[in-house]
Amino acid sequence: MQAMVLEQPRTPLRLRDIPEPEPGDGQLLIEVHACAVCRTDLHIADGELTRPKLPLVPGHMIVGTVAGSGERVGVPWLGWTDGTCRYCTSGRENLCDAARFTGYDIDGGYAEYVVADERFCFPIPAAYSDLDAAPLLCAGLIGYRAYGMTGDAQKLGIYGFGDAAHIITQVALHEGRRVFAFTRGDDAEGQRFAREIGAEWAGDSLGPPPEELDAAIIFAPVGPLVPAALRAVAKGGVVVCAGIHMSDIPAFPYDILWGERVLRSVANLTREDGERFLRVAPQVPVRTEVQTFALDEANEALDSLRGGRIRGAAVLQLRA
C-alpha cells in the first residue's frame, strides 16, 4: 500500500510502498478515506516531539471503513492505554504513562490502510462526510476538552485561530458564550476567518483585549502568549494551554497570576471526551472548513500549516 513515511525528523515525508498492516486480536483493519493534518504532526516531523517510532506513518484524525464490515469509524490520537495504572483507573486515561498514540507510537493515517485497537475507535456521526468528520477527531475532541476546562466563562478568548479554534468557537457560540479571537497582528486573513465563524472581535494576540476575558484557550504553540493571556483574563479566570508543544514561556510577574487566576494545560483525550464531543458536534451543528490534499501532497499540507496558510483544517483525501 502507499503511505507517506517519516524516516527521520526534519526531513520531508516520503511516498513509500509498504506492506498492508495486519490486525491482531481486538484490532481493526481500516481502509482510510480521509486523515486530517494536526499541528502535532508538524511537531513530530520537525523533531519537537522527540520519541516517534521510526520510520513512522503520521496521522491521527482518521476516518475510514472497517475492512470486511464497511462500518465507518474514526481513529483518534489516543491509540492504547494499559487500563490498570492509577490514571486509567481514576478516569484519567489521557494521562496514562504507558499510553500509545496514533501516528506517533503506532502507524497512523497518512496511508491507504491503518490498524487500530477497536476499543479506541469511534463511530462517526452520519451527518458528516468523511472529509468534514476528520478534523473532529483531534482538533474537535481535544479542543472540546480544553473548552470544558473554561467552566462557564462567558467571555472566552481563543489564541491561534486554526482547526481547533474554528470548531470550538461554534460550540461556544451555540452555548451562548462570546468569543474573542487573537491571532498574529499581521494575520488579517486569520482575523477575517475568525469573524466569519462568529467571533465578535478578532485582533492582535499581543495587544490588549477589547474587554476583560473570563477565560482563554491557547491553541498556538507560542510561549509569549501565556503572559499575554494571563493579562487578558479577569481574577479567577483560567488560561488553558491546549497544544502538546509550546515554545518557552517568558518569565512574568506574579502579579498577573495573582487573583486566583489559573494556568493549566490539557493533555490528550479520554474516550469519554470523544463520545461526548461526537454527540455534541451534530447538535450544534459544528461545520468544519477543510482544505483537501492528496496523500502524496502531505508535505505541502504540513508546509501550509506551518506557514499559517490553512483556513480551518487541512485534510488528506485518500478515497472520494
Q: Which is nearer to Zn ion, 38 or 156 (CB)?
A: 38
**Candidate segments 86-94, 146-154, 184-192, 267-275, binder of Zn ion by CB under 5 A:** 86-94
Out of 96, 131, 164, 230, point to the residue binding Zn ion (CB under 5 A): 96
Does 138 participate in binding Zn ion (rule CB under 5 A)? yes
Side chain identity at 301, as an amino acid letter? A
DSSP notation for 48-82: SS----SSB----EEEEEETTT--EEEE-SEEE--
**Candidate segments 124-132, 135-143, 282-290, 298-306, binder of Zn ion by CB under 5 A:** 135-143
**Candidate segments 48-56, 93-101, 105-113, 202-210, binder of Zn ion by CB under 5 A:** 93-101
Q: Smallest distance, Å, CB 198 to Zn ion?
A: 23
Q: Smallest distance, Å, CB 96 to Zn ion?
A: 3
> How far apart (Å, rounded) are the C-alpha atoms in residues 228 and 226?
5
Q: Which is it for strands 113-117 and 27-37: parallel, antiparallel or unpaired?
A: antiparallel
Q: Which is nearer to Zn ion, 37 or 226 (CB)?
A: 37
Residues 6+ apart with CB under 8 A from 297: 316
Contacts (CB under 5 A) with Zn ion, residues 24-43: 38, 40
Q: Smallest distance, Å, CB 276 to Zn ion?
A: 17
C-alpha cell of residue 228: 499575554
What Cα–Cα distance (Å) separates residue 164 from each residue in 93, 106, 242, 297? 21, 23, 9, 22
Contacts (CB under 5 A) with Zn ion, residues 52-81: 81
CA 115, 118, 120, 121 torsion: positive or negative? positive
Does 82 participate in binding Zn ion (rule CB under 5 A)? yes
CB-based contact 165:311 (threshold 8 Å): no
Out of 15, 18, 49, 85, point to the residue binding Zn ion (CB under 5 A): 85
* Binding residues vs Zn ion (CB under 5 A): 38, 40, 81-82, 85, 88, 96, 138
